[in-house]
Amino acid sequence: MPATISVTDLHKSYGDIHAVDGVSFEVDEGEFLGILGPNGAGKTTTLEIVEGLRRADSGQVRVLGESPWPRNTRLLPRIGVQLQASSFFERLTAREQINTFASLYGVPAKRADQMLETVGLVEKATTRTENLSGGQAQRLSIACALVHDPDVVFLDEPTSGLDPQGRRNLWDLLRDINRQGRTVVLTTHYLDEAEALCDRVAIMDLGKILEIGPPASLVRGLDAPTRISVETGAASEEEARSLFPDAEVSDDGVSLTIATRSPAAVLSELAERNALHGLSVKGATLEDVFLNLTGREYRA
């Protein structure tokens, strides 16, 4: 079966800037793909080309077997795009908003009300969108993108500007959407979001995909050291250095940190010495993957 989305050697330039510089990837049916990268990495432009909002300079895009450019009215009812939370009609209530979008797709109002329930906005149905909180507006805009039951959903930085609680709520909603069998493509500049939600992550920088794969295997493939911290004083810095000659040891006066590629040996040695006070173990994250790929710290 062909992939739900296939992108081959995509290029897009604005003047001298190669916003998208040879991007290729595929997304299977029901998959949750995250496109991760700092601002200006080219992820939004890539997404816009796939959605059919922009024309690529070269390369091929197929979504559900169709070309999204020029504007393809056979494809449009099958994809749902969530834009920023401000893309609403002025002075309409949440229900009027979603009903308007529903009728653009010929979807009955009943289904729109159901969608409002799915995103937990029933009690806000008669509130004007201008008076919704950031998280509520985000959820409404996702509901508007899903009201016509699309097969593929595109989300562009859905959680930016939300508080931690709002982000968690939205993550649950996005997982549900994916669990219903929809293919989801999301861009984000939050590493933890990509790790928490996506089946696969494409890491983009300067218009190129640097690495693509499941977050766990990207991190594992990194062969990055595990950071083991205990309370300062549980063991002295010199002691730790002599015990673990291969590890990197540092003490900032609060915690003694041992960065090692053989965490099991270190942990059992520390346990034997009863030196596990305030223990914390941190594996590598996508942040380390990004650092390793670009040689730069990740800055969102």
By C-beta, is 76 or 170 nearer to another protein? Answer: 76
By C-beta, is 17 or 104 nearer to another protein? Answer: 104
Site for another protein (CB under 8 A): which residue of 6, 8, 84, 160?
Answer: 84
Binding residues with another protein: total (CB under 8 A):
27
DSSP string, 6-43: EEEEEEEEETTEEEEEEEEEEE-TT-EEEEE--TTSSH
Euclidean distance between CA atoms 185 and 56, whole angstroms: 19
Q: Is residue 101 within the footprint of another protein (CB under 8 A)?
A: yes
Q: Is residue 53 within the footprint of another protein (CB under 8 A)?
A: yes
Beta strands in 28-125 (DSSP E): 32-36, 58-63, 79-82
By C-beta, is 80 or 225 nearer to another protein? Answer: 80
Question: Measured in whole angstroms, how far is the alpha carbon of residue 247 from the centre of its chain?
Answer: 33
| Cβ atoms of 224 and 284 closer than 8 Å | yes
Q: Is residue 70 within the footprint of another protein (CB under 8 A)?
A: no
Q: Is residue 44 within the footprint of another protein (CB under 8 A)?
A: no
| Contact track, another protein, 104-123, x by CB under 8 A | xxx-----------------
C-alpha distances (whole Å) from 148 to each of 100, 124, 176 are: 12, 21, 16
* Span near another protein by CB under 8 A; candidates 1-9, 20-28, 45-53, 262-270: 45-53
Site for another protein, rule CB under 8 A? 51-53, 71, 73, 76-77, 79, 81, 83-84, 86-92, 96, 99-101, 103-106, 144
